[in-house]
A and B are shown apart, each in its own frame.
Chain A
Amino acid sequence: MQAKSSAQTAKALAIVAWLVLLVMVWLLLSGLFKPLLIGLGLFSCVITVYVVNRTGFFDQPSLLNAMPRMPKYMAYLFVDIVKSSIDVTRIVLNPKLPISPTEIEMDAAPQGHVGQAILGNSITLSPGTVTIDVHQGKLRVHCLTQAGADELLNSKINQRTAELTEK
């Protein structure tokens, strides 16, 4: 009983947080403070939250808990992106085009859908590796070179995403 009510407060909190965020975005982008426009903005924000609620987004463990750990993860991801873009640039501009496409199958460390989505998107964001399939906790990743594949297998991105979303 206790657990259920705390889950409900978490859900309500997430809904209010997203509503505030959406209203702020609206005010920033419109820059007009007439009552009619603000009313329209509020209306569309409420509609958006209602539609998103129907997809079951707020029933999942929310990303709000992960926010304090987000900057560190983003910094790590950014360094990774810079390194691998330079690698891919070298390969593309090399006249011999030294590619050796490799496919990786790996088990996703994060259990939730949100964590797996973040993991897949992070892998796709760094050039040289593209997630081509996520199914039942298994990821298929296409890599441009074998060296890049080894790098991905040795990197801690799987664990890091799990730590980010599930702690």
Chain B
Amino acid sequence: MTEQLIDVLSWVLLTAGGFFVLVGGVGALRLPNFYTRMHAASVTDTMATFLILGGVMLQAGLSLATIKLIAILVFLLLTGPTASYALANAALLSGMKPDVCATKKSKEQAE
């Protein structure tokens, strides 16, 4: 009974993860310029990673494989934004202007 439940749950997680991966790939092709494409890549970097590795973890159960999967997850979540920041910052410093409709400033300051 619980085995079937786990199977169903990981089916759901894995197919949802596959869906988000595809969304990221489609977005990287459809969106019009560099800075907006980064947002599409970030969907596959976070949500899809959570879902796919979570689904695989459920199948692995309590074992060394799960610990390794957690290590992969933590590592991807730490390096993903760092690489994105390095990329965006390199593009910005090289003079690529982000095309924006509006610029906003935060009014509230942490007192």
Given A99-B31, A99-B36, residue A81 in contact with residue B46 (CB < 8 A): yes
| Contact yes or no, A85 B20, CB < 8 A | yes
Please encode chain B, from 84 to 111, with 1 for each CB lying within 8 Å of some chain A CB and 0 for all others.
1100110110000011111111100110
| Contact yes or no, B64 A131, CB < 8 A | no
Classify the secondary structure of B's interface with A.
Answer: helix
Question: A120–B92 Cα gap in the complex (Å)?
Answer: 16
| Contact yes or no, A120 B46, CB < 8 A | no
| Contact yes or no, A93 B105, CB < 8 A | no
Judged by a CB distance under 8 angstroms, whether A51 is at the interface is: no
Judged by a CB distance under 8 angstroms, whether A46 is at the interface is: no
Given A92-B23, A102-B104, residue A125 in contact with residue B67 (CB < 8 A): no
Judged by a CB distance under 8 angstroms, whether A59 is at the interface is: no
A-B pairs with CB below 8 Å: how many? 139
| Contact yes or no, A124 B85, CB < 8 A | yes
| Contact yes or no, A142 B85, CB < 8 A | no
| Contact yes or no, B46 A104, CB < 8 A | no
Question: A100–B36 Cα gap in the complex (Å)?
Answer: 10
Given A99-B31, A125-B46, residue A130 in contact with residue B71 (CB < 8 A): no
| Contact yes or no, B30 A132, CB < 8 A | no
> Whole-angstrom distance from the CB of B60 to the nearest CB of chain A?
15
Q: List 16 A-B contacts (CB under 8 A).
A: A28-B71, A29-B68, A81-B47, A88-B43, A89-B43, A92-B40, A99-B31, A106-B105, A107-B109, A121-B81, A127-B43, A142-B38, A142-B88, A146-B102, A153-B106, A162-B110
**Besides A93-B26, A131-B81, A132-B88, 17 other A-B contacts (C-beta < 8 A):** A85-B46, A88-B40, A92-B26, A101-B99, A102-B101, A103-B102, A104-B103, A106-B105, A107-B106, A109-B110, A122-B81, A124-B42, A124-B84, A125-B42, A130-B35, A130-B42, A132-B85
Interface residues of B (CB under 8 A from A): 20, 23, 26-27, 30-32, 35-36, 38-40, 42-43, 46-47, 50, 64, 67-68, 71, 77-78, 80-82, 84-85, 88-89, 91-92, 98-106, 109-110
